[in-house]
Amino acid sequence: MKTIGVLALQGAVSEHLKAIESVGATGVAVKHPDQLEQLDGLIIPGGESTTMRRLMKKYDLFETLQTFAKSGKGVFGTCAGLVLTARAIDGSQDETLQLIDTTVVRNGFGRQKDSFEAMIEVKGIEGPAFSAVFIRAPYISATGEQVEILASIDDKCVAARQGKTLVTAFHPELTGDTRLLELFIDRL
């Protein structure tokens, strides 16, 4: 049985934990660096990326998460997690974890009032289209050669992976569809 942590600084932590448990894995709310040792993978949820970065620095999680990923553990970043895991943020010098070779556009689809839901095809997921919930969503504007694009909307990349790092611009934990979570866990 895999143990998957959810970075519990901000965002839809309980929804992610519920999804993890529903697929037969063990979910752990992560607030301290020493908790990472027991995990097979970690989800960095949505929220506000600047606030999350500050809290990660405050609680000594920033560098610890980089070490965690470099040791071969999986990381799944959703929405703000996509921003935090990127190599760079377009138009910003904000520090990122640099876990996936992407450049992202923060709030790329607009503000809160521009939030939407769309049915998308995701490479590697069988069955019907995936219901994707976009809330002040970013998108990926550039990818390195090792990055596999999994889904796009209007020529904007909204899901990708590189090695054991998976990112989405949307919130799969809000739909009840666990196929992306299962795709993440299967690669651990």
Q: What is the pLDDT along the chain (188 residues), one digit of tens a residue?
A: 999 999 999 989 999 999 999 999 999 999 999 999 999 999 999 999 999 999 999 999 999 999 999 999 999 999 999 999 999 999 999 999 999 999 999 999 999 999 999 999 999 999 999 999 999 999 999 999 999 999 999 999 999 999 999 999 999 999 999 999 999 999 99
The residue count for the chain: 188
Active site residue 173: yes
CA dihedral 140, 144, 145, 149 (to 10 degrees): -10
Is 135 part of any known ligand binding site?
A: yes
Fold of 3-186: Rossmann fold (3.40.50)
The tokens describing 17, both together, are: 């934990």
Active site residue 171: yes
Position 118 scores a pLDDT of 97
Is 48 part of any known ligand binding site?
A: yes
- Tell me the pTM: 0.97
Between CA 40 and CA 11 the distance in angstroms is 21
143, amino acid identity? T
Residue with tokens 């506000």: 48
Position 11 scores a pLDDT of 87
Position 144 scores a pLDDT of 98
> Domain ranges in the chain?
3-186
The tokens describing 78, both together, are: 């959703």
Please identify which of the residues 15, 16, 157, 171 carries the catalytic annotation.
171
Say if residues 47 and 53 touch (Cβ distance below 8 Å): no
101, amino acid identity? D
DSSP 113: G
